[in-house]
Structure formats: C-alpha cells, structure tokens
Amino acid sequence: MKSSFVATLLAAAAGSAVAIPMPMPLPPGIPTKAAATTQLAALTVTPYVDDGAYDRDLFPTWNTVSGTCNTRETVLKRDGTNVVVSSACAATSGSWYSPYDGATWTAASDVDIDHMVPLKNAWVSGANAWTTAKRQQFANDLTNPQLWAVTDNVNQSKGDKSPDAWKPPLTSYYCTYAKAWVRVKYVWALTITSAEKTTLTSMLSTCSA
C-alpha cells in the first residue's frame, strides 16, 4: 500500500488538488490589521445600487506586462512555485497553492486569477464613473493585493459577491482576505455597503496583527 505521502505526490503529478503545506506567495500591499482598520473607517458607506450597465468588457484584461507575458501569466509566475513557461509565457509546469481553500494544483488550467474586489462590485462601488483606461488599470492592478491565483471553481463560486455574501472556505484566511479587500477599496476610493463594513470589521477581528 502506498504511503499517504507518496499518494499525495502522485496526486500532485496528476494535476489534482491536494492540500500539502508549502510557502504561500502573497500579492503586494496587504496592510497590517491596524492600517486596514483605519482604512476601513475612512471608506464611504453607501447602499448597493445596480444600474444594470455593467459589462466585463468595460474592464479590459489582460494587459501585456513584459515581453510576451500578460497580467494573468505574470500572476501565475508570481504566485506559483517552480513555474516553467513557454516562449509565449504560458505556464507549462509548476504548482499553485490556493490560499482561499488550501488546495494545491499542478496544472495552470485549474487556476483562475481572482479579482479580490470583483469587477462588477467595483462598478457599483464607483467604477461606473471611471474612464475605461482607469478601469483597465484596476483590472490589471499588480501593485495592490487585487489579483490572486486561486482554485478555479472557488473563484467562480465567489463571482461578484462582497464579503457579506461570500467568504473564503478557509476561515483561517478571513484576516488576510479582509485586509486585502479593504486595501483595494481604499486605494481605489471605492464605496462599501453597511453590511460589507460590518462583515469586514468582524473578519478583521480575527487578525492578530
């Protein structure tokens, strides 16, 4: 009988999800608990109003970042381990740990790039008044904790939901998720709802620092 360790390695080689501990790369700009709390308090609270005009094409993705690499490919390289890419910058091998659910993937096709603040949520939070150029910058933001490599069906489950309607499957990740969400909304001067603020306050209370 194979040991669980060997079975885990074989599962990883087959491209299936496995929960094995490994270093977790983080997007840049995640604030401390204190900074996130201050930033949350500074956000404008408004009701959720959907004007019905949202279209994903109003947020162009993915930009060319360097050479043949676009934003998605750049995040896959940034957040993966031992990532090998082709001349077209497509990831041909590597592994990706999804912090939302704790799964590890060895096929890039199993990984989505999640917008921490979903594009539609940004639209109803103030981005509907932006230029297309600014929305493109937001959708490809590599400077702040906006883009995350995560399990594809977890990203799809999240959709355009804010934290009061969807949270990461791993409760241990509530702190980091809330800090990142607040940071993105703060940097981009987006609004939040009352329910969103209440939930984020609760999630930040799980942080130690």
> pLDDT by residue (tens digit) across 26-41?
899 999 999 999 999 9
Per residue in 99-138, pLDDT tens? Answer: 999 999 999 999 999 999 999 999 999 999 999 999 999 9
Distances (CA, A) of 127 to 9, 53, 76, 198: 44, 11, 26, 22
Percent of the chain residues past pLDDT 90, beyond the cut: 88
- Residue 2: the pLDDT is 31
Domain boundaries, the chain: 4-204
Average pLDDT in the chain: 91
Phi-psi map region of 73: left, alpha, beta (phi>0 left; psi -120 to 50 alpha): alpha
Do residues 127 and 11 touch, judged by C-beta distance below 8 A? no
**Closest C-alpha to 155, from 113, 202, 102, 190:** 113
